[in-house]
């Protein structure tokens, strides 16, 4: 029998089937200095200690007022953590460190051009800069507590400064990845209802100084057409005093931040005493429909969770130099570049540009220069560096104690290069599985406790109780060799609070499918559905297979199939579009786009290019399809549904299975031939 599921693209289904791998033991010198080497933590976070166990993470923070209730679960699935507690995130990431660490670097900003000096921002200087900018936000942009402020900033020190300034005054920041197009930025401005946009004139990427402000102007116009007026655009300058964009400044609307800040020298703002449940930020992610989801994260629960997990899994001590080579525009950067590491008083590296610029030795030169000892990145970056410079790490004198990988599954072979060559056999590796929605890590080995296993993420984090469910909601046991939908059976403090302005979609998307009783007020009836396929080994380690819904994870960033398809459909000749994930050597997966044309149009290079251009313009260059394949018709069910599954099989050189029940089975062979001819 065919079910609706059969029409879905499933990454889990095209996942590679790796063998079980050998264990690697954590190095003894690492264990000796680790924040956590005692497995008793798993007893402290045992199910019978839930939810009180999570107070251990909250106690890592400074509170103006202690919470009354650790977890209020009376309105499922809208969990409320540390109710009654009051705190400020910027206070916890800056002020409380000043007594001991004011002259220590908080940020090391590394410009992409190698001849530009590294900027070392001490905690003291960070405090000045955040306070001054927070004053400007209040006085010039009139930002108040609870207002949403959209940021479209590249990887520069001004990005965490702007986030922390928002947090200081209780405003909700919404940073949109700088690679997103003006259209995507506008959609997020509208959804968040922001009237203030913070951007930068220009930034370096791949050796070029890109004009960034021009995109802001377009986005403001598109947002206004969509009903959301931006009153103020705050523009930082990449080179203060030397405006580097061709876009003119709009009188009354645009302000040059660096210029204006001169008038706020030494100004201080008392941190807002936010309730634990006040939102700290929105982070948009792609879903199965075209509309992005604004994941709303709390102040108290989120900050507690990322601080606790950064301390134990990233093993951050104040004396560490920590480099997460990801973009702050994604959740990884929010949790494990900004909030977690700064709450722990680490020195954090922020690198502006491409890892392989000007050559694949760059990351290792940065590590050597700054004595980086914790390194965090994605399998995509590791694959890219391995291909471009397999022998580069050995040329540089740096020593990592810990490295992480996140965002997608890592092939064991790539893992071993990371371990042996990048880590020089000295570093422990953690493979952390989590999502934008979950705020922090869900599964990972504890670096000084568990052996590592390439390709597996490890057991669940303390206090996290995953279950793998089949389509009927039955539990798939560990060691069964079968995969299913991985869910978390209990709430945890890092979990997002809701989808901004759309609580119905929040419930429908994450809880409805496996909720045992919609009337129940017992959290046990409300498992969180992650949307990933997974299996659990006999050793309890989870292996994540990928998305089970219409979402494609490209280089560790989620893209909705619908978003890409509707961009393709904006090209006049296109009648139908279907996107599927295709395996890619460097990026793990890429979107491959099938299009059919309206009657009377002939396929050609010109249409293909315009389809690619439409996707790049609507979403951003990182969504560019690997190939656009023009087909006479899509494989369809008798009821007219496009069978993306069949296309996914063709794209990945797999057997599409029984296609005789299709309305047009003959088209499958035709498509295969067209695709083969294209791929040469």
Shortest distance, CB of residue 604 to ligand WT7, whole angstroms? 35
Cβ nearer to ligand WT7, comparing 332 with 536: 332
Q: How far apart are CA 38 and CA 26, in angstroms?
A: 14
Q: What mask, x for binding ligand WT7 by CB under 6 A, covers residues 259 to 298?
A: --------------------------x-------------
**314 belongs to the binding site for ligand WT7 (CB under 6 A):** no
Among 135, 307, 553, 651, binds ligand WT7 (CB under 6 A): 553
> Exactly one of 332, 377, 497, 596 binds ligand WT7 (CB under 6 A); which one?
332
Decide: is 408 part of the binding site for ligand WT7 (CB under 6 A).
yes
Q: Where are the alpha helices (DSSP H) in 195-354?
A: 213-225, 257-261, 300-312, 331-333, 340-343
Q: What sign does the CA torsion over 469, 474, 476, 482 have?
A: negative
User: Could you write out the three-class secondary structure of 176-210?
Assistant: CCCCCCHHHHHHHHHHHCCCEEEEECEEEECCEEE
Strands 293-298 and 627-630, sheet pairing? unpaired
Contact flag: residue 15 with ligand WT7 (CB under 6 A): no
Q: Are 50 and 486 in contact (CB under 8 A)?
A: no
Nearest to 568 by CA among 631, 626, 617: 617
**Alpha helix stretches (DSSP H) within 453-524:** 503-510
Residue of 547, 465, 524, 434 whose CA lies nearest to 77: 524
CA distance 155 to 370: 18
**Part in contact with ligand WT7 (CB under 6 A); list of ranges 34-42, 157-165, 171-179, 325-333:** 325-333
Helix axes 158-168, 123-139, angle to 10 degrees: 60
Among 386, 547, 587, 644, binds ligand WT7 (CB under 6 A): 547
| Binding of residue 430 to ligand WT7 (CB under 6 A) | no
Please choose, out of 52-60, 237-245, 528-536, 612-620, the segment that lies near ligand WT7 by the rule CB under 6 A: 528-536
Cα distance between residue 134 and residue 271, in whole Å: 10
Contact yes or no for 107/160 (Cβ under 8 A): yes
Inter-residue contact 229 to 195 (CB < 8 Å): yes
Residue with Cβ nearer ligand WT7 (439 or 635): 439
Which range touches ligand WT7 (CB under 6 A), out of 229-237, 241-249, 540-548, 665-673?
540-548
How many chain residues are in contact with ligand WT7, going by CB under 6 A? 25
Q: Give 556 or 625: the residue with its C-beta nearer to ligand WT7.
A: 556
User: Under the criterion CB under 6 A, does residue 550 sit at the interface with ligand WT7?
Assistant: no
- Of 95 and 539, nearer to ligand WT7 (C-beta) is 539
Taking CB under 6 A as the criterion, the residue among 402, 409, 429, 595 binding ligand WT7 is 409
Q: How far, in Å, are 10, 92, 144, 500, 585 from residue 170 at the CA level?
A: 40, 13, 7, 17, 43
Check residue 619 for interaction with ligand WT7 (CB under 6 A): no
Contact region with ligand WT7 (CB under 6 A), list: 101-109, 434-442, 561-569, 613-621: 434-442
Q: Is the dihedral of CA 649, 653, 657, 659 positive or negative?
A: positive
- Region from 259-267, 418-426, 431-439, 649-657 binding ligand WT7, contact rule CB under 6 A: 431-439
Q: Which pair of structure tokens corresponds to residue 654? A: 């797999």
Taking CB under 6 A as the rule, does residue 485 contact ligand WT7?
Answer: no
Q: Which stretch binds ligand WT7 (CB under 6 A): 2-10, 297-305, 433-441, 661-669?
A: 433-441
Q: Does 13 bind ligand WT7 (CB under 6 A)?
A: no
Helix ranges (H only) for 55-212 are 55-58, 89-93, 98-101, 123-139, 158-168, 182-192
Kindly state whether residue 166 participates in binding ligand WT7, applying the rule CB under 6 A.
no
Rounded CA-CA distance 409/114 in Å is 32
| 432 lies in the binding site for ligand WT7 (CB under 6 A) | yes
Considering only residues 558, 562, 587, 589, which one is a binding residue for ligand WT7 as defined by CB under 6 A?
A: 558
CB 9 within 8 A of CB 550: yes
132 binds ligand WT7 (CB under 6 A): no
Residue 663 DSSP one-character state: S
Taking residues 367 to 406 in sequence order and writing x for each that binds ligand WT7 by CB under 6 A, - otherwise, the string is: ---------------------------------------x
Decide: is 457 part of the binding site for ligand WT7 (CB under 6 A). yes
The verdict on 407 binding ligand WT7 (CB under 6 A) reads: yes
The CA distances from residue 477 to 24, 27, 482, 534, 543, in Å, are 25, 31, 8, 12, 13
Q: Does 131 bind ligand WT7 (CB under 6 A)?
A: no
Beta bridge partners of 255: 234
Question: Smaller CB distance to ligand WT7: residue 296 or 435?
Answer: 435
- φ/ψ region of 657 (left if φ > 0, alpha if ψ in -120 to 50, else beta) reads left
Candidate residues 300, 493, 494, 556; the one interacting with ligand WT7 per rule CB under 6 A: 556
State yes or no: residue 436 binds ligand WT7 (CB under 6 A). yes
Residues that bind ligand WT7 (CB under 6 A): 285, 330-332, 406-409, 431-436, 457, 530-532, 544, 546-547, 553, 556-558
């Amino acid at each position: 029998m065919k079910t609706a599921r059969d029409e879905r693209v499933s990454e889990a289904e095209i996942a590679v089937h790796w063998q079980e791998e050998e264990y690697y033991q954590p190095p003894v010198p690492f264990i000796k200095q680790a924040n956590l080497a005692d497995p008793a933590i798993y007893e402290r976070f045992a199910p019978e200690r839930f939810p009180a166990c999570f107070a251990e993470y909250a106690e890592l923070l400074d509170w103006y007022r202690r919470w009354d209730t650790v977890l209020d679960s009376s309105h499922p699935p809208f969990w409320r953590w540390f109710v009654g507690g009051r705190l400020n995130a910027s206070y916890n990431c800056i002020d409380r460190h000043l007594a001991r660490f004011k002259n220590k670097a908080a940020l090391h900003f590394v410009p992409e051009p190698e001849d530009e000096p590294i900027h070392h921002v001490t905690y003291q200087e960070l405090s000045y800069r955040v306070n001054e900018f927070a004053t400007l936000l209040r006085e010039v942009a009139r930002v108040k507590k609870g207002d949403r402020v959209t940021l479209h900033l590249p990887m520069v020190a001004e990005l965490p400064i702007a986030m922390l300034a928002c947090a200081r005054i209780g405003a909700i920041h919404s940073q949109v990845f700088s690679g997103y197009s003006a259209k995507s930025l506008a959609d997020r401005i509208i959804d968040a209802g922001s009237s203030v946009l913070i951007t930068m004139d220009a930034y370096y990427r791949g050796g070029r100084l890109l004009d960034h402000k021009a995109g802001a102007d377009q986005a403001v116009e598109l947002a206004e057409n969509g009903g959301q007026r931006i009153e103020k655009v705050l523009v930082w300058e990449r080179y203060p005093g030397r405006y580097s964009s061709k876009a003119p400044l709009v009188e009354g609307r645009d302000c040059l931040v660096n210029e204006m800040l001169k008038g706020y020298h030494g100004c201080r703002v008392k941190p807002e005493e936010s309730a634990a449940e006040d939102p700290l930020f929105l982070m948009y992610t792609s879903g199965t429909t075209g509309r992005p989801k604004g994941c709303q994260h709390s102040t108290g629960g989120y900050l507690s969770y990322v601080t606790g997990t950064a301390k134990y899994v990233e093993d951050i001590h104040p004396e560490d130099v920590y480099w997460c080579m990801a973009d702050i525009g994604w959740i990884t950067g929010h949790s494990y570049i900004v909030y977690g590491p700064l709450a722990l008083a680490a020195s954090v590296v922020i690198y502006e540009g491409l890892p392989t610029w000007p050559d694949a030795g760059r990351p290792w030169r940065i590590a050597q220069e700054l004595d980086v000892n914790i390194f965090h990145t994605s399998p995509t970056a590791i694959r890219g560096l391995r291909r471009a410079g397999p022998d580069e790490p050995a040329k540089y004198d740096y020593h990592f104690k810990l490295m992480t990988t996140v965002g997608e599954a890592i092939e064991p072979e790539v893992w071993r290069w990371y371990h042996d060559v990048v880590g020089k056999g000295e570093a422990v590796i953690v493979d952390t599985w989590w999502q934008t929605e979950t705020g922090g890590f869900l599964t990972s080995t504890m670096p000084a406790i568990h052996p590592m296993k390439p390709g597996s993420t490890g057991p669940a984090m303390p206090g996290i109780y995953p279950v793998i469910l089949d389509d009927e909601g039955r539990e798939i046991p560990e060691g069964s060799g079968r995969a299913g939908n991985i869910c978390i059976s209990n709430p945890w403090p890092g979990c997002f609070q809701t989808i901004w302005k759309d609580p119905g979609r929040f419930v429908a998307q994450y809880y409805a499918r496996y909720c045992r009783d919609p009337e129940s007020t017992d959290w046990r009836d409300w498992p969180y559905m992650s949307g990933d396929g997974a299996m659990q080994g006999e050793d309890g380690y989870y292996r994540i297979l990928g998305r089970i819904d219409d979402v494609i994870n490209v280089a560790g960033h989620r893209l909705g199939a619908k978003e890409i398809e509707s961009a393709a459909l904006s090209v006049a000749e296109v009648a139908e579009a279907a996107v599927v994930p295709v395996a890619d050597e460097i990026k793990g997966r890429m979107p491959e786009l099938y299009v059919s044309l309206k009657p009377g149009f002939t396929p050609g290079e010109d249409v293909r290019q315009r389809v690619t251009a439409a996707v790049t313009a609507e979403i951003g260059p990182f969504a560019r399809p690997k190939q656009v394949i023009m087909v006479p018709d899509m494989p369809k069910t008798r009821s007219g549904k496009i069978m993306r599954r069949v296309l996914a099989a063709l794209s990945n050189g797999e057997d599409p299975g029984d296609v005789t029940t299709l309305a047009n089975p003959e088209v499958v062979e035709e498509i295969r031939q067209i695709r083969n001819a294209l791929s040469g």
